[in-house]
Amino acid sequence: MTQTASASRARLSLRTQRWITLGAALGVLAIVLVLSLALGARGVEFSQIWQALFDPEAGNNDQLVIRELRLPRTIVGLLAGLSLGVAGAVMQGVTRNPLADPGLLGVNAGASLAVVFAISVLSITNPTGYIWFAFAGAAGAAAIVYAIGSLGREGATPVKLVLAGTAVTAGITSVISLVLISDTDTLNTFRFWSVGSLASRDLEAVRLTIGFVVAGALLAIISGRMLNLVALGDDLARGLGQRVYIARAVAAGAVVLLCGSATALAGPIVFVGLVVPHIVRPFTGPDYRWIIAVSAIVGPSLLLIADIVGRLVVSPSELEAGLVVAIIGAPVMIALVRRVKLAGL
Check whether 328 has a pLDDT greater than 60: yes
For 319, the enclosing helix (H) or strand (E) is none
So what's the pLDDT on residue 309?
87
Q: Which of 219-228, 264-273, 298-307 has the highest mean pLDDT?
A: 298-307
Q: Which of 73, 181, 180, 184 is nearest to 127 (CA)?
A: 73
So what's the pLDDT on residue 344?
41
Query: Angle at CA 201, nearest 5°, toward 100 and 312?
Result: 80
pLDDT band at 51 (very low <50, low <70, confident <90, very high): confident
Check whether 34 has a pLDDT greater than 80: yes
- Taking only the tens place, the pLDDT of each residue in 90-137 is 988 887 777 777 777 787 788 888 888 888 888 776 766 777 888 788
Flag the least confident range among 67-76, 197-206, 267-276.
Answer: 197-206
Give me the architecture of the 2-101+205-339 domain, per CATH: Orthogonal Bundle (1.10)
C-beta separation of 258 from 83 below 8 A: yes
User: Average pLDDT over the chain, rounded to whole?
Assistant: 80
Question: Amino acid letter at 21?
Answer: T
C-beta separation of 272 from 323 below 8 A: no
Q: What is the mean pLDDT of residues 276-295?
A: 90
So what's the pLDDT on residue 298?
94
Share of the chain above pLDDT 70, in %: 88
Q: What is the mean pLDDT of residues 57-85?
A: 84
So what's the pLDDT on residue 7?
54
So what's the pLDDT on residue 161?
75
User: Crossing angle, helix 2-38 and helix 71-95, to 10 degrees?
Assistant: 150
For the entire predicted model, the pTM comes to 0.85
Separation between Cα atoms, residue 144 and residue 170, nearest integer Å: 13
So what's the pLDDT on residue 10?
58
Check whether 327 has a pLDDT greater than 50: yes
Nearest 5°: phi and psi at 96? 55, 40
pLDDT band at 83 (very low <50, low <70, confident <90, very high): very high
3-class DSSP state of 241: coil
Separation between Cα atoms, residue 285 and residue 231, nearest integer Å: 13
Q: What is the mean pLDDT of residues 320-324?
A: 82
pLDDT band at 188 (very low <50, low <70, confident <90, very high): confident
Q: What is the DSSP letter of 66?
A: I
Separation between Cα atoms, residue 177 and residue 214, nearest integer Å: 33
Share of the chain above pLDDT 90, in %: 15
pLDDT band at 339 (very low <50, low <70, confident <90, very high): low
- Taking only the tens place, the pLDDT of each residue in 225-272 is 888 887 777 667 677 667 777 877 888 888 888 888 888 888 888 788
- Domain ranges (residues) in the chain: 2-101+205-339
3-class DSSP state of 233: coil
Check whether 321 has a pLDDT greater than 70: yes
- Taking only the tens place, the pLDDT of each residue in 144-186 is 887 887 777 766 666 777 788 888 888 888 888 888 887 777 7
